[in-house]
Amino acid sequence: MKYCTFKYRIVYEDGEITNGWSPFHGEEINNFTLTRFVNHCFLKTKPAKVIVISDVFKISDAALWLAHVQHTVEFKYLRASNGFAAQLMNGSRNNRQEPSSE
């Protein structure tokens, strides 16, 4: 699994422009997979003319990526809308050590 954050710009056919950034994890990080992700998660109901991906910041470690993004509004939106990164979040909770009562 690969991890990153990136910026995107959506230009709609009516001229409206939406800018944002997003966390992402998947098998591949490239323009095609990130554009498809934006199309699926952030596109409004109207048709887009162009989706531009920029400033891709790759993070090699899942725990580091999760620590970097889990408290952001964008991550919380993705979690609420489609269960984004549920396995990573569950793994993170399961790996926490309980305090010792000794």
pLDDT in tens, 13-49: 999 999 999 999 999 999 999 999 999 888 878 888 9
Q: Is residue 29 part of a domain?
A: yes
Q: pTM value?
A: 0.81
Q: Under 8 Å CB-to-CB from 49, ≥6 apart: which residues?
A: 11, 12, 13
Range of the domain at 21: 2-85
CA torsion, ordered 82, 43, 28, 8, to nearest 10 deg: -120
> Coil, helix or strand for 64?
helix
Q: What is the CATH number of the domain that holds 8?
A: 3.10.20
Number of domains composing the chain: 1
Q: Is residue 98 part of a domain?
A: no
- Number of Cβ within 10 Å of residue 62's Cβ equals 17
Q: Can you read off the two tokens belonging to residue 61?
A: 């470690």
DSSP 44: -
Q: Is residue 102 part of a domain?
A: no
> What's the pLDDT score for residue 92?
52
Q: Is residue 92 part of a domain?
A: no
What pLDDT digit, counting tens, does each position of 40-98 carry?
Answer: 888 878 888 999 999 999 999 999 999 999 999 998 889 888 777 777 766 554 444 33
